[in-house]
Structure 1
């Protein structure tokens, strides 16, 4: 029986549950193998569109509206077994929309008959079907962006059963040895065929729904099925963009009419949201190298697009909400008790849903409250055999297509009305180094790493490790991954497992304690042991290899670019001097002129030695060969007056 019919628990019935776990594992391994064999594909497939990312971040209006052209595309008809279908859209339904469930009373004398939705049923793939898929996409992003992204669309051609027909069979575009060329050729041909009747200048994005199934769900008998993917870079592949109505088009989402094949049910909603997120500027957060999992089913851009067989993807990750401009975190950098954080579905504009805790210049934690919720208020029974709209507080089906879920967190690992704090360790240094290659969560450290509260770092385990016991925790996640008093761990400290060390293993002395029970609103305390308020300070350039040194009650610090700084205990920073060359040596402190004020003696690699007053006055300067040693102030000849000793690279 479909438990989700009552608005409680999973949308997937028990007989599909095993298939859901197999599907996630199968697709992850298949995509990893593809990228290992063809690393050059990463340049064009599933790459973030940074143009829209910039637009989203710089938007002036509260709501950004995105207009999407949805092209229905068929191929020339064929009879080959190398692809799924015959190149034409499936306009006839497959199966029956209803199943009959008979429930007997305790003594088996009376039976109650109910009709429930048959998830194996595949409705006709006409314009209504694709309109409902786009309705799901719209509802998903309107919800997860908290009303900041509004998607409008036109399904084209506008007639019920029509499609644009490209000039080749599907095998022409689906050559397994060159998917990139095939996908871009399909994009180009579809635009050229549609151009006479479609004004592409009206649209910001293009989605192509083509006849047939997807490469991801093919078990091997139809190798020319096309990958369902976002592509970008037509201007690089073809040496010029695709031009339509004066508009330069470089990419789009290529998606299939169905994911069903080979006795495997795979729905399109989650994958469509995932690939469209690339069109918004998002990156993959699963391990694209195929060595580990990244962040599993906890985020749309991990493997969460396949949660519930693709029907109910979770929200985008905390980092993506921040990165895409959907949400601005509250920064906490000092001891604070009773911090409140609301679950991601909280609609109050004043609710804090995302918290940022700085670690150092490049690293920080993002904390969110992941809570598995389904609206219990308006659940009721609707016979799916007799109505085209089946709606309750938990979900909405239209013409046998799921168009809305309340809430998308309902597919997360914890039980219903349970959850906890998800703590994400963000390393902007790793992100900057690997974002162009779509490998942010490949290797170690990960750019966006989940601190798994049970201490078992499932998402960092090798997929090749045959000793792994809990495969589901590895590919999807576990309820024990989040922190809560009623979960596995209710604190995150230097001594917990996992701990709050930075990615170099240095202790941060950050303590997150007193974490409450899971719920729509959670609380916790945070302490920065051994850290003064307003620290760390950012000098704008890495410090040299041997600073800082004390200067009375101040901190004297140099930077590699030759800067000399004094920092007070409350974090106020003042640049005393800027040397023309870089510096690697310890500055000396000594009252050179006996005026009761200590001077700063420092040198740079250009051979310049300076004696500085703390008010930035240059008391004196000298020129040597390249200085390689720190200045030393000492009475060398015993005459009661100190000399300055410095080492240079001429052995003097």
Structure 2
């Protein structure tokens, strides 16, 4: 267990921050946002890429009739007081008065995780232009979690090589689903295409102080033949799963700047949840998996698109930085990878040869929610049999209302006017708070003299099938 206050020197900024106006703590469910220019990064684990031990069969999952269905199991550990990991191995089930902010605040129970999964449903509805509507179930139903046989630290021992790390994560994966199968045999594992473990505690990637190295990392695992989990009386095998923590908040830090106190270390689950589930859908990491450097940066959730920061003001005037609440949409390559056939059928994807030469082309922003006749949002220019360009339009404010707002849910136990989960972006002036697709609001931009957000334009992706796979 740890509760760390970081010195100033340990905090570095590397992506984008939002600040909101005229609201506080997601009060009254809706918060208006404005961008400013800096953000925070996170670590990349050196061995998690090795957890992909077999070729994925996304096509089979898509054709199985249950591609929309996700099973989530909550797991905790033997209780401990180990300084090498965050927390005590158990979910935080009571409000924590020391947690300064409403978003992502405890209690972290099944209702809380269901609200986060609902946020993920809205995100992938936007990414798919309404085509992919996630269905999810969270187990167990009659208790807090499935308790594993060891402490968290056992599954991620310090200073081990990649082979032992992989073996421990495979053991953790296997025990989690075997325990769920034994304790709740009524779960129909075969009815799901996707699986996720949410564990008590935080994750390795957000231990920026480096003082809880035995936190389990967030990852996607796909095991080889012989390592699968046999469930449903041996009639079904689980080969893959996402793994995410109950919270990414840790290493809380306070500093004075310009006479104002700034609190950091707080984070929403949205980005890590959406990123890891993207792998289960068939997306791939777009950062450099050899040296962990950004490659497409903030323009895709599968690189740094989830690392944006919100800035909010507490009632006492202090500021709080919140990571991960507003991840960017998948870029054209990722959306093409997942939704090519659907986008073609609906007119959202066009080959350049489909277009009339020298004619005007209206390319819809991926963040624009279209109605009626669809305009294309991706155009492919085939260069040769292996190479092509994907052209898309990324726009921070496609409805031209000067910005965006976010809509929240799940009341804070100490103040029902404050909400704990950000569900989706919504328009400034929409009293009905309908969801929009404006997840790209954190992309690079500037503000005009009236405070309206300006930014966006044409983004070209070059693909080479010989290199990609």
Query: Deviations along 1:213-251, whole A, 9 cap, x unmatched?
Result: 100011211111001111111x44xx3421000111112
Structure 1 residue 423: Cα displacement:
1.2
Give the one of 41, 53, 56 matched to 1:50.
56
Q: Which of 374, 383, 396 is matched with 1:359 structurally?
A: 383
User: Once the 2 structures are TM-superposed, how far is the Cα of residue 8 of structure 1 from its aligned partner?
Assistant: 4.4
- Find the aligned partners of 1:363 and 1:408 in 2 and give their Cα distance: 29
Partner of 1:247: 236
Question: Compared with structure 1, are the counterparts of its residues 314 and 131 closer, same or farther at alpha carbon in structure 2 (3 Å cutoff)?
Answer: same
- Cα 1:173–1:209 change in 2 (3 A) is same
Long gaps (5+) in structure 1: 99-117, 397-402, 436-652
SS of match in other structure, 2:336: helix
- 1:387 and 2:417 matched: yes
Counterpart check, 1:229 vs 2:219: yes
Distance in 2 of aligned mates of 1:378 and 1:222? 36
How far apart are 1:190 and its partner, in Å?
Answer: 1.3
Give the aligned partner of residue 311 of structure 1.
325
TM-score normalised by L of structure 2: 0.73
The equivalent residue for 1:457 is none
- Is residue 48–residue 278 contact of structure 1 (8 Å, CA) maintained in 2? no
Native 8 Å contact 2:406 2:426 kept in 1: no
How far, CA to CA, are the matches of 2:107 and 2:458 in structure 1? Answer: 42
- Is the CA contact 2:404–2:438 (under 8 Å) kept in the aligned structure 1? no
Which of residues 66, 77, 80 in structure 1 aligns to 2:79?
A: 77
Secondary structure in 2 aligned to 1:429?
helix
- Does 1:372 find its partner at 2:396? yes
SS of the residue 2:266 aligns to = coil
CA distance in 1, matches of 2:273, 2:221: 13
Secondary structure at 1:351's aligned position in 2?
coil
Paired residues, what number? 381
What are the within-5 Å matches in structure 2 for residues 524-563 of structure 1? none
Using the alignment, how far apart are the partners of 1:146 and 1:300 within structure 2? 16
Cα distance between partner residues in 1 of 2:441 and 2:176: 37
* C-alpha contact 2:102 2:418 (8 A) present in aligned 1: no
SS at match of 1:337: coil
SS of the aligned residue for 2:251 comes to coil
Residues 286 and 295 in structure 2, CA contact (< 8 A), matched pair in contact too:
yes
2:359 aligned residue (337, 343, 368): 337
Tell me if 1:220 matches 2:210: yes
User: 2:199 matched to which residue of 1?
Assistant: 210
SS in structure 1 of the partner of residue 301 of structure 2: coil
Between the aligned partners of 1:75 and 1:217, the Cα distance in structure 2 is: 20
3-state SS of paired residue (1:42): helix
**Partners of 2:301 and 2:172 in 1: CA distance:** 26
SS at match of 1:69: strand
Whole-angstrom CA distance in 2 between matches of 1:430 and 1:200: 36
- Relative CO higher for 1 or 2, CA cutoff 8 Å, sep ≥ 6? 2
Contact 2:249 2:267 in 1 (8 A): yes
SS in structure 2 opposite 1:168?
Answer: coil
1:324-363 Cα offsets, whole Å, 9 max, x none, are: 1253321114742321111112323521111111222222
Q: Relative to structure 1, is the Cα distance of residues 84 and 240 closer, same or farther in structure 2, using a 3 angstrom cutoff?
A: closer
Distance 1:395 1:74, change over 3 A: farther
* Match in the other structure for 2:318: none
d(CA) in 2 for partners of 1:265, 1:183: 26
Q: Following TM superposition, by how much is the alpha carbon of 1:393 offset from its aligned partner in structure 2, in angstroms? A: 8.8
Asked if structure 2 preserves the Cα contact closer than 8 Å seen for 1:312 and 1:408, the reply is: yes
Change (3 A) 1:172 1:404: farther
Relative to structure 1, is the Cα distance of residues 97 and 211 closer, same or farther in structure 2, using a 3 angstrom cutoff? closer
CA drift of 1:378 comes to 10
Per-residue CA deviations over 1:251-281 (Å, capped at 9, x if unaligned) read: 2011110001111223211111111111111
Q: Is this contact kept in 1: 2:119–2:423, CA < 8 A? A: no
| Shift of residue 4, structure 1, vs aligned partner | 8.0
Task: For 1:321-336, list aligned pairs within 5 A.
Answer: 321-326=335-340, 327-328=343-344, 329-333=349-353, 335-336=357-358
* Deviation (angstroms), 1:381: 11
- TM-score in terms of structure 1 length: 0.53
Task: Determine the structure 1 residue equivalent to 2:280.
Answer: 279
Which residue number in structure 2 is paired with residue 412 of structure 1? 443
Instruction: State how far apart, in whole Å, the 2-side matches of 1:183 and 1:255 are.
Output: 13
- Whether 1:172 aligns to 2:154 is yes
Deviation at 1:195, TM superposition (A): 0.7
Q: How far did residue 410 of structure 1 move?
A: 1.2
Alpha-carbon distance, 1:365 to partner:
1.2
Structure 2 unaligned runs (5+)? Answer: 1-18, 24-29, 253-264, 310-322, 428-433, 447-452
Aligned partners of 2:304 and 2:22: how far apart in 1?
22
- Does the alignment pair 1:141 with 2:135? no
Contact 2:67 2:192 in 1 (8 A): no
1:190 corresponds to 2:176: yes
Q: Kindly name which structure, 1 or 2, has the bigger radius of gyration based on alpha carbons.
A: 1
SS in 2 for 1:305: coil
1:501-650 residue pairs with structure 2 within 5 A? none
Pairwise CA distance, 1:65: 4.8
Task: Say if 1:48 and 1:279, in contact at 8 Å, map to a contact too.
Answer: no
Matches for 1:155-166 after TM superposition, within 5 Å: 155-159=138-142, 162-166=144-148
Residue 250 of structure 2 is aligned to residue 261 of structure 1: yes
